[in-house]
Amino acid sequence: MTLTGIALIVIAVALCILVLTLIPTLLTVKRTAASVGELAEMVRSEMKPTLHELTGVLAELKTVSGGMAEYNEDVRRFMSELGAAGSNLHTINRSVGVVTGVLNSATAWGTGAKVAGRYLIERYLKKRGGM
């Protein structure tokens, strides 16, 4: 056998080993490609209803936000009036406090005048009766 014949046999054997090694790899790649295709089809079929529901939710959100914007001015006006009512209640509370203070002072002065009047009358009567 010549050197060329031996080289050809070695090349043929190496080629057979390469083909035998590549066959399982090619089969695995084919199965993987089929699986990826099925996954893509499943994702596509599942995404359509999801996107449809998402579109519905977005439409509802637009409706709700539009309704909220519609009543935003009413809420702002209500809060403003509530603040004014609180201010008015504070003013009334201060006025009641002042009136209560005046009434307490008047009661104290009245009691003082009553006691002083009794004292003066008793003294006057004692002086008049004692003469």
* CA–CA dist 71, 93 (Å, integer): 33
Tell me which residue has tokens 């009245």: 110
In a domain? residue 114 = yes
In a domain? residue 109 = yes
Q: What is the number of structural domains in the chain?
A: 1
Residue 8, pLDDT score: 92
Residues 6+ apart with CB under 8 A from 19: none
In a domain? residue 62 = no
Tens digit of pLDDT per residue, the chain (131 long)?
799 999 999 999 999 999 898 999 899 999 999 999 999 998 888 888 888 898 999 988 888 887 777 788 888 888 898 899 989 999 999 999 888 888 888 888 888 888 888 888 888 888 877 54
Spell out the alpha helix ranges (H) of the chain: 3-130
The four Cα atoms 81, 87, 91, 92 give a dihedral, to 10 degrees, of: 50
In a domain? residue 111 = yes
pTM: 0.39
- The domain in which residue 114 lies consists of 101-131
